[in-house]
Amino acid sequence: MRGRTASAILAGLAVLAVGAAPAFSQDADEAETGKDNYLRHCAVCHGIEGYGNGPLADAMKIAPSDLTILAAKHGGEFPAAKVADVIRNGGGVLGHGSPAMPAWGLYFSEKRKPDIARARVKALVDYIAGIQAK
């Protein structure tokens, strides 16, 4: 593993210890809900701003993706369906790289309600689309 250190792990745990995810409401502003979910679940690896430099990044075998350049890597088009697939099913999805990325699809649902999970994933995808480099 690249530079796995106790301080990186403690920093990551501190990010995770911020608190439980906010309750999800269909009426909530999707961009804000996406940002909240990103900060609670993604920033620990991908970094607060999405550059792949979160507190646990150095402890990982494969560096987390820089989420701000996904559109640039795909000819200027943000790959929303691909991003949603990776969020739902994890990084082990064929063609999506490392299995180190956890699957969040079931986690985002409340008592396995697929409509809630879809709304949360969509909000997260929309947030990531909004942080693309210009």
Is residue 19 included in any domain, yes or no?
yes
Is residue 91 included in any domain, yes or no?
yes
Out of 44-53, 61-70, 92-101, which region has the weakest mean confidence (pLDDT)?
92-101
Is residue 17 included in any domain, yes or no?
yes
Residue 27, pLDDT score? 45
Number of domains, the chain: 1
How far is Cα 93 from Cα 36, in angstroms, rounded to an integer?
Answer: 25
Is residue 120 included in any domain, yes or no?
yes
- Mean pLDDT value across residues 45-49: 95
The chain-wide mean pLDDT, for the chain, equals 76
How far is Cα 64 from Cα 78, in angstroms, rounded to an integer?
Answer: 18
Q: Which CATH number belongs to the domain containing residue 94 in this structure?
A: 1.10.760
Residue 20, pLDDT score? 42
Is residue 79 included in any domain, yes or no?
yes
Residue in 80, 85, 41 with CA at minimum distance from that of residue 64: 41
Q: What is the pLDDT of residues 91-101, one digit of tens each?
A: 764 444 456 67
Q: Is the pTM for the entire model greater than 0.85?
A: no
Is residue 1 included in any domain, yes or no?
no
